[in-house]
Each structure stands twice: as C-alpha cells, then as structure tokens.
Amino acid sequence: MRRRVGQWLPVVLLGLLVTIAAGSVGTPVAADGRSATGPSDVTSGVTPIDSCTTISEPGRYALTEDIENGGGTLLSRACIRIDAGDVVLDGDGHRVDGNGVSNTTGIAVTAADARNVTVTDLEVRDWHRGIDYRKSTCGRISTVTATNNTYGLSLERAAGIRVADSEPRRNIVGVETVRWVNRLSGVQAQRNQGTDVHRGFPSLRQLVAWTRC
C-alpha cells in the first residue's frame, strides 16, 4: 500500500501545480483587491461641486446639481471662485443662479496669474457679472448661456480668452471684452438691452499677455 501511494504522489503534486498555475492566469487583481481590468470610472479624477465654493487647486471639477438663489453669496463676492490655473469647470448642463443682488458674480477667475481656465456647459443667470475672467489669460469659455445679468460675460481685463458656441442673451451687456486679444466664435449675443458685445481697447499688459498664449 505504501508503495502504491509513493508511485502516485508525483502525479498528484504535478496536478496541484497545474491547477495553481491555471488559476493565476485569471483576471488580474489590483493591490487593493479590486479588479484591475473592470470598467473604468469616467468621473475618475473629477471633483464634484454642489454649492458655492472656492477652487484653489488645478484639476477638473464638475457641477452635480443647480445652484439656486445665489447659494448664499454675499455682496461683492462670487459664488464660484477659481483661484488657480489649469482648471476645467464642467457645468454638465446645470445652472448657477443668482438672486439679482448688485455686485455679485456667478463664476469669477480671481487669481491674477491664472492661466488655462476653462468654463463649459452651464448657465449663469441673475448676477451682476455672470462670468468674470478678471486678469486671467489663455482661457476658454464654451457652451455657456448667460441670461438676465448686468454683464453676461466679462473679459475686459483678461487676455487670450476664447469664447465659443455660447449665448449671452437678455443681459444689459452680453459680452464685455477688448479688441484683438480675446476671440469670439459661434457666439450668439442677442436681445441684450444695452449692447450685445462691447469691445474696448487692450492695455499694454493685455497685449503682452496675449502674445504668450
């Protein structure tokens, strides 16, 4: 009996090795135990926003719901302040709604040296300034609707900003910008009470900044 067991032992061990090897060829597992080849999360790396806030770090941010009635924004303040460069704010079709208080802003790029800030796919309404890029450079506004603001889009102090496929309408001034250094394409500014697009002349600072975009 012992001799028969000894004869079959190598075969049993070989079978175990083959089974272990076959099991290791299955789905790779990450260090934290999750499947490394499962469906990717399309929102990975995107920070959700559901209220007024200050963005102080580069990255991608997305609105997850409408912000209504000013979101508690105080006088002379902005609901969403972007105080960093290399930021993408995606509204995902949502609305940033003010309450008509003078000198408030829906979205403001507040950092003087902020570059490459993109605001896209949202609506701003009932603010003094819907979107204000202040002294930002080399940014982009796209697929934005601005309504019932004093100034829909304010770019008078910015340089190298591209506005595309947006609709500033029923404001006092649709777009406040400067000649040459900011570009509008596919912008349908209409039914604004004062003027659809007001173009001033750039400062030397804006001209220099524009050449660096």
pLDDT by residue for the chain (213 residues), tens only, comes to: 444 444 443 433 334 333 433 443 333 333 233 222 222 234 469 999 999 999 999 999 999 999 999 988 888 899 999 999 999 999 999 999 999 888 999 999 998 779 999 999 999 999 999 999 999 999 999 999 999 999 999 999 999 999 999 999 999 999 999 999 999 999 999 999 999 999 999 999 999 999 999
Q: Which helix (H) or strand (E) holds 46?
A: strand 46-49
Sheet strands (E) in 126-189: 129-132, 140-147, 151-154, 162-164, 167-169, 173-178, 183-185
Q: How far apart are CA 192 and CA 29, in angstroms?
A: 58
Domains of the chain: 46-211 (2.160.20.10)
The CA-atom distances, in angstroms, between 149 and each of 65, 123, 154, 173, 193 are 21, 11, 11, 8, 10
Q: Which two tokens stand for residue 212?
A: 């660096």
Residues 110-119: b if buried by 16+ CB within 10 A, e if exposed: bbeebbbbbb
